[in-house]
Amino acid sequence: MSKMINKKPTNYLQEISALILEQKEALSNSILDDERFNYKHLGNNKDRLQVLRLQLIQLYGETIPLSLNITAEKLKEWGNDYADIFVSLNIPLDHAIEEVHFYRNKIGVIIKEAAKNEDLDLDTFYEMISGYDLVVDTAVQIVSTSYMDKYISHLRTAEEEIDELSVPVVLLGDGIGILPMIGDIDTKRAQILMDNALTSSTNLELSHLILDLSGVPIIDTMVAQKIYQVIQALELIGVETKISGLRPELALTMTSLGVEFNGIKTFSSLHLALKHLGFKRIIN
């Protein structure tokens, strides 16, 4: 029979837990001496990250006497917050995982020394350290999953913001605006085009809007149909739409696809569209 069983394992684990918690401040600060974790761009987030490190030590210590199910629940909330700061500061995931293992090693030494002092047999020590490693593995899994979820969410948000910025309506005055399109247009950007065109035309009180396609390399059938829907929607709110920058290759492609903008005035260049609306080029 092992010494851990004789000593009532729950009590012994609680003693180790208390020993770790007594040293939590020193343990959390020990990472500051390691250059790998000396992030130069933390700024005001330095204290926030240190609080999360302290929370990790606290959780490691508190959860040693508990079952894995309880441990996982306690770690989940911490892991979400921990991953959030690394994503927001653009620190790679491997650094977050290295920090988790850094404290795993520090606490592992405490457990090992405690086991030596109690003269635990190998089987008992193995059982105890395996349980602790399982807690660490759970922490790594939670941090990794939360990090990737938040990272993907940030990417999607950034993409949406870039897409919105890439289809701005420029006010020229006298109720006339230009919506310059640049780059490839897929169905997603075409939808953003519709939303921005309608919202901006209303907010800017436009009577005329020029859709400039000078910077668009190619248009397919679905995108052309979406543009046509934009024009129809603008007509319903009293905005007359014209298309400029319809280069010969674009016109040929659209004709071959059977796409027609019946009743819509088109121009080969933005200059001609503006001239049609009464804008004159002034040469000093």
- Give pLDDT tens digits for 72-97: 777 888 888 899 888 888 888 999 99
Can you point out the beta strands (E) in the chain? 170-173, 176-182, 208-215, 240-244
User: Quick one: pLDDT at residue 99?
Assistant: 92
Which single residue is written with the structure tokens 């008992």? 124
Under 8 Å between Cβ of 172 and 89: no
Comparing C-alpha atoms, which of 283, 284, 253 is closest to residue 271?
Answer: 283
User: Quick one: pLDDT at residue 90?
Assistant: 84
Please classify residue 52 by burial: count the beta carbons closer than 10 Å to its beta carbon, then call 0-12 exposed, 13-18 middle and 19+ buried.
buried
User: Quick one: pLDDT at residue 159?
Assistant: 62
User: Quick one: pLDDT at residue 148?
Assistant: 92
- With vertex at residue 127, the alpha carbon angle to CA 80 and CA 12, rounded to the nearest 5 degrees, is 85
User: Quick one: pLDDT at residue 208?
Assistant: 92
CA distance 118 to 12: 10
User: Quick one: pLDDT at residue 25?
Assistant: 92
Number of other residues whose CB lies within 10 A of the CB of residue 108: 15
User: Quick one: pLDDT at residue 283?
Assistant: 47
Backbone phi, then psi, for 83, in 5-degree steps?
Answer: -65, -35
Under 8 Å between Cβ of 146 and 84: yes
Under 8 Å between Cβ of 216 and 250: yes
Tell me the C-alpha to C-alpha distance, in Å, between residue 99 and each of 29, 187, 232. 12, 42, 57
CA distance 177 to 205: 10
User: Quick one: pLDDT at residue 219?
Assistant: 75
pTM over 0.75? The answer is no
Which single residue is written with the structure tokens 């939360």? 146
Mark 205-244 as b/e (b = at least 16 C-beta within 10 Å).
ebebbbbbbeebeebbeebbebbbebbebbeeeebbbbbb
Residue type, 145: T
The low-confidence residues of the chain, meaning pLDDT below 70, are: 1-10, 68, 70, 158-167, 257, 259-260, 280-284
CA distance 167 to 209: 13
User: Quick one: pLDDT at residue 160?
Assistant: 62
User: Quick one: pLDDT at residue 129?
Assistant: 82
227-252 per-position pLDDT tens digit: 888 888 899 999 999 989 888 777 77
Comparing C-alpha atoms, which of 62, 84, 81 is closest to residue 71?
Answer: 62
- CA gyration radius, the chain: 32
Under 8 Å between Cβ of 265 and 243: yes
Q: Which pair of tokens denotes residue 11?
A: 């009590």
User: Quick one: pLDDT at residue 209?
Assistant: 92
How crowded is the C-beta side of 134, counted as CA atoms within 13 Å?
A: 16
User: Quick one: pLDDT at residue 190?
Assistant: 75
Tell me the domains of the chain and their CATH numbers: 3-163 (1.10.490), 170-276 (3.30.750.24)
User: Quick one: pLDDT at residue 102?
Assistant: 93
